[in-house]
Amino acid sequence: MSTPLLEVKDLTKHFAVHGRGRAVRVAKADHVVHAVDDVSLALPPAHVTAVVGESGSGKSTLARLLARLITPTSGDLLLEGKVVPARRRRTLGYAKAVQMVLQDPFASLNPIHDVRYHLSRPFVVHGLAKPGRDLDEKIAAVLERVALTPAGAFLRKFPHELSGGQRQRVAIARALAVQPKVILADEPVSMLDVSIRLGVLNLLSDLRDRERLAILYITHDIASARYLAETIVVMYAGQVVEAGPALRVTDEPAHPYTQLLLSAAPDPQRADPVALGDRGVPPSAVAPPSGCRFRTRCPHAMAICAERRPPAFTAGEGHVSACWLLGNGAAAPASQKGGDMDPGTSGQQT
């Protein structure tokens, strides 16, 4: 089993906010938003890990913590097995190793600059190419890595002259320019036309295989997570509720929330998926329910669910679920500490 490139342990982020949502110090806060609570996960090389959950479940906050754009309230972050001090500013070296791709390529590209300018920046900022021929060759090579060929046809194009899929490929090329080890892709296809989503997902899958990248694929769409990822981590209200090999989690979901997500996913075999909203809405992140946060929507809720937070129970090999339903049978807690849901790399399908 290879060392994960990036790993987090019990990562927590609470936003302290004042009145109209202004961020303040915790001591002065009117209330605290529990955006991410005790999340553990590991991103091995050549492996796609999907984080799945509804809007507001903490996915983007998790990505921003992993990118070190925000500092955690508590918890550890390890890059290639070494602890990264939480309070210290993000170094250029960290930014080179861990790159982010965002949902909206239009917003992440500057409309007044062409493709060549966007792709020259990372080489210049990180001192990775000599101006002139070396830079031109490296820009052409990175365009080829995202299948925008011939490179010459794209260099002078401005963002508005590209299709949505081409724009997202340019954003991915910009991330790849610095030879990162980890890509954090936050809903990278959600804003694209359905017809071009598959092409971008297949590009991510090629990059995993060809360049052995560790990819975090964030999505609200569990079907696309099953398509692309080896491991699926399901988040609900800031916590991991289930994690394991993608096919197991989607074929034999152990947590009632994952079951709900799957019953709401479009499926050609089934005429009428349930609407997620018909089964209630996620709880307030300011005052989440006691015990299991899903219990207010759960058809199986029992007394214990309000009293104690369910620990991670083993639901199969490399498959864990934080649900008291598993606590009744033979299954043993995968960990002593409630909420430690690190699926590790045991779910790898290679």
Ligand X SMILES: Nc1ncnc2c1ncn2[C@@H]1O[C@H](COP(=O)(O)OP(=O)(O)O)[C@@H](O)[C@H]1O
Residues that bind ligand X (CB under 6 A): 15, 17, 23, 33, 35, 53, 55-61, 285
- Give per-residue burial for 84-123: e unless 16+ CB within 10 Å, then b: beeeeeeeeeebbbbbbbbbbbeebbeeeebbbebbbebb
Residue 64 CB, nearest distance to Mg ion (Å)?
9
Residue 281 interface partner, choices ligand X, Mg ion, none, CB cut-off 5-8 Å depending on type:
none
The span from the CA of 280 to the CA of 239, in Å, is 18
Residue 198 interface partner, choices ligand X, Mg ion, none, CB cut-off 5-8 Å depending on type:
none
Q: In this complex, which beta carbon is closest to ligand X, that of residue 35 or of residue 207?
A: 35
Which parts of 4-126 fold into alpha helices (H)?
A: 59-66, 92-97, 105-108, 115-125
The span from the CA of 201 to the CA of 187, in Å, is 11
Question: Which residue is closest to Mg ion by CB?
Answer: 60
The span from the CA of 229 to the CA of 244, in Å, is 11
Q: In this complex, which beta carbon is closest to ligand X, that of residue 57 or of residue 231?
A: 57
Residue 117 CB, nearest distance to ligand X (Å)?
30
Residue 17 interface partner, choices Mg ion, ligand X, none, CB cut-off 5-8 Å depending on type:
ligand X
Residue 15 interface partner, choices ligand X, Mg ion, none, CB cut-off 5-8 Å depending on type:
ligand X
Tokens read off for 198: 């598959």
Residue 54 CB, nearest distance to ligand X (Å)?
7
Residue 48 CB, nearest distance to Mg ion (Å)?
18
* Burial category of 219 from C-beta neighbours within 10 Å (exposed 0-12, middle 13-18, buried 19 and up): buried
Residue 266 CB, nearest distance to Mg ion (Å)?
20
Amino acid at 95: A
Residue 285 interface partner, choices Mg ion, ligand X, none, CB cut-off 5-8 Å depending on type:
ligand X
How many C-beta neighbours within 10 Å does residue 290 have?
A: 12
- Print the binding letters for residues 34-63 with Mg ion: x by CB under 5 A, - otherwise: -------------------------xx---
Find the Cα–Cα–Cα–Cα dihedral 269, 347, 73, 282, rounded to 10°. Answer: 20
Q: What is the longest distance spanned by two Cα atoms in the chain?
A: 69
Q: In this complex, which beta carbon is closest to Mg ion, that of residue 218 or of residue 243?
A: 218
Residue 173 CB, nearest distance to Mg ion (Å)?
23
Residues that bind Mg ion (CB under 5 A): 59-60
